[in-house]
Structure 1
Amino acid sequence: MSTTDTALTEDAIADYLYQNPEFFERHAELLAGVQLVSSHGPRAVSLQERQAEMLREKIKVLEHRIIDMMRHGSENTSIANKIQQWGCALAKVQDLRELPHAATASLQRVFDIPQVALRLWNVAGMHSGTVYTMGVSEDAKAFAASLTMPFCGPNMGFEPVGWLSQPDSVQSVALLTLHDGAMDSTTNAFGMLVLGSPDPTRFEATMGTEFLSRIAQLASASLSRMRLSPLSLAHG
């Protein structure tokens, strides 16, 4: 008998048993007599024991999935609470001159991020001349405007990483562009948040960016109060 014939015969047997489950009621002795190799060693076990082992294995897999879901749910809740805490800290700042420092310091503290930097451009005159508005090239501005979502990945020597206090120690970064919500793409981006870590896995390229996007949106909404007016930008 060829391999094909054997396969067809096995398929036919399997189909027959599936269509006629009462077969095992009429021949219950077969269930006790069939011996299979255990998944936990070379010993032989009955069909019922093997089925019980398979069920236990499936239950373990489901338990691990449930544990993972609960862990992810707990982590997401914790992050959401931190974002709310950080957003409240921004809302409490009344002096706009203190806002950039408050945004970066609270972000670093609440999320335990080793290094955080912020740069803004096209701000009102009273806010220019600070560390938060200096040292930004046109290339960096164009790069920020080109990002449609937060960038996460290894330190590849981007100019914004140089804004961090210790850029050489950074292994992974997250770059968050700040937008004022304007439809004009040439004036939409007005800043960037840089998050840096010596841990190469802290900001991985494969990580989700939903929470980082929320952070960028909150920072944009708060810091946009320091922007030049649309009329000033148009004349600029």
Structure 2
Amino acid sequence: MTEEEVVQYLQNTPEFFERNPALLETLSVPHPLHGGAISLIERQVSMLRKSVAEYRGEFERLVAIARENEAIMKKSRRLVLKCLSCESLDDFAGVVEEVMREDFAVNYMSMVLFSEHELDTSIRTASWEAAEPILKEMLAQSGCYCGVLSVAESEFLFQSQSDSVMSSAIMPLVSREGGQVIYHGVLALGSSRLNHFDKEKGLLFLDFLADLLSALLLRLLP
């Protein structure tokens, strides 16, 4: 009988070792680390321990992510509740800046509203015609943007602080009318660390937060 036939027989007869348990104690296989011979049962126990360790590591990673998401949701809830009590655009900007700085540890923040008319607010405003050529590549993407800005984008959004901003998260403040996206402004968050804003894990939360802030802002716009 060839080796292939033995393998085929054992695959087709999974109950073989149940009928011959004593055989398991006599079989030996190479040790996965030092190469010495160990029994098949010892090898199975070793593999099971390795699997348990891997599952435990994955479980602990998922628990850590769940705790992080829970903390983020609590901070978001605080932001929304505080914004609901705002009666002016300046109140709104002040609350957003406070929560972003204290709860989310954001180093730099800039809010720009797009308007052709003067607004009753200290928030910086710019016409869409002036902002669109600079921000069009970033805003052309669906949802929020995470990463490094161009020099022109950074200077437009962060002005005198642009040289200190190494990575950014840009949240468009929009409304949707008849299937068309209307840009009312942007909220730019900046960090002095290059990879602070991670697009792989942060975009879903940022999109969620941008939608909430957009809805809250629309209540206060004239």
Tell me: CA distance 1:118–1:160, structure 2 relative to 1, closer, same or farther (3 Å).
Answer: farther
> Cα RMSD between the aligned structures?
2.7
The equivalences for 1:1-236 within 5 A come to 9-24=2-17, 27-122=20-115, 125-127=118-120, 130-134=122-126, 137-140=131-134, 142-143=136-137, 145-160=139-154, 162-164=156-158, 166-183=161-178, 185=180, 188-228=182-222
Tell me: CA distance 1:108–1:40, structure 2 relative to 1, closer, same or farther (3 Å).
Answer: same
Tell me: CA distance 1:69–1:33, structure 2 relative to 1, closer, same or farther (3 Å).
Answer: same
Q: How many residues align?
A: 219
Structure-2 separation of matches of 1:160 and 1:223: 23
Mind listing any 5+ residue stretches in structure 2 that lack a counterpart? none
Mind listing any 5+ residue stretches in structure 1 that lack a counterpart? 1-5, 229-236
Aligned-residue sequence identity (percent) comes to: 26
CA contact (8 A) 1:86 1:106 kept: yes
CA contact (8 A) 1:100 1:223 kept: no
- Structure 1 or 2, whichever has the larger Rg, is 1
The structure whose residues are more often strand, as a share, is 2
Q: Which whole-Å deviations, capped at 9, do the CAs of 1:49-80 have from their partners, x for residues lacking one?
A: 00110111111111111111111111111111
What residue is the counterpart of 1:231 in the other structure?
A: none
CA contact (8 A) 1:127 1:226 kept: no
TM-score by length of 1: 0.80
Q: Which whole-Å deviations, capped at 9, do the CAs of 1:11-30 have from their partners, x for residues lacking one?
A: 43223123334543565443
TM-score by length of 2: 0.84
